[in-house]
Amino acid sequence: MSGPKYSRVCLKVSGEALAGGTGHGIDNAVLAAVVGELAAAAALGVQLAVVVGGGNIIRGIAASAQGADRATADYMGMLGTVINSLALQEALEKRGIPARVLSAIRMDAVAEPYIRRRAIRHLEKGRIVILAAGTGRPFFSTDTAAALRAAEIDCQVVLKATKVDGVYSADPLVDPAARRYETLTHQQVLQQGLRVMDATAASLCMENNIPIIVFNLFTPDNLLKVVTGRKVGTIISSA
């Protein structure tokens, strides 16, 4: 196995992915698979920051559509990401992998507050940093949180973990003629409205020249392949 191409990465894992086939809650088999992928990358010396979504517990947008105040609904979604983050930390530590949860909303009994320099120090010490509670502000997605944190803590790439093997011209589960892209630019993603990350996240990555790699996390060894520079999924860059 070759050495890592990236020394520090920001991995975005959706809450829905952690639910597996149930659609809600946390599937322990899926959690174990994610931990296995993280362990393999960490063993190469890659510094890993992980942003976890909360859609398996509650989605702020969905709660807002059902009548909740949008800001309140988004805060509820942020708390869902903290639950997922604690579950991931626990699973990592049971494997003997040091991990720290840093929350954008202070909750000192269960997580450290997000402080940029503290996050970088944990990474430098070989700990997996799990970034919870999104940006800590309503109206921003966890995709945007991943792009923002990647820029703040000097990550070389944002890795968007999904259930499909890249970015398609249409939903491949609905349209059998959907075409998978091997490469895209940030500008193409924005102009074509491709559902990779929301526009704010894509713009942040473009402005800070941070590439995005969209790949299937649940294909064994895919994360290892990505961090060692092998061609997996779709690469989105400024070039």
Is 29 a domain residue? yes
Q: What is the pLDDT of residue 236?
A: 96
Q: Is residue 36 part of a domain?
A: yes
Domain count, the chain: 1
Packing angle, helices 116-124 and 142-152, rounded to 10: 70
Residue at 22 is within a domain: yes
CB-CB contact of 183 with 237 (8 Å): yes
Note down the domain range covering 170: 8-237
In terms of DSSP H, where are the helices of the chain? 15-18, 28-43, 60-65, 70-94, 116-124, 142-152, 186-192, 199-207, 222-227
pLDDT for position 60: 67
Neighbour count for residue 154 (Cβ, 10 Å)? 15
Statement: the pTM of the whole predicted model exceeds 0.85: yes
Asked if the structure places residue 189 within a domain, the reply is: yes
Angstrom distances, CA of residue 103 to CA of 45, 56, 75, 133, 167: 24, 18, 13, 6, 30
Q: How far apart are CA 148 and CA 15, in angstroms?
A: 19
CA distances to 105, 132, 153, 197, 212 from 138, in Å: 11, 14, 22, 17, 24
Residues with Cβ within 8 Å of 111's Cβ and at least 6 positions away in sequence, in order, are: 82, 85, 86, 101, 102, 103, 132
Residue 3 lies in a domain: no
* pLDDT for 239: 75
Q: What is the DSSP string of 105-124?
A: S--TTTSEEP-HHHHHHHHH
Chain segment 202-232, per-residue pLDDT in tens: 999 999 999 999 999 889 999 999 999 999 9
The 8-class DSSP code of residue 52 comes to E
In this prediction, the residues of the chain whose per-residue pLDDT falls under 70 are 1-2, 60
Residue 52 lies in a domain: yes
What pLDDT score does 111 carry?
Answer: 98
109 found inside a domain: yes
Alpha-carbon span 142 to 104, nearest angstrom: 11
CATH number, residue 12: 3.40.1160.10
β-strands 180-181, 167-168 pairing:
antiparallel
Which DSSP helix (H) or strand (E) runs through 11? strand 8-13
Q: What are phi and psi of 34, to 5 degrees?
A: -65, -45
Residue 1 falls inside a structural domain: no
- Give dist(CA 105, CA 74) in Å, integer: 12
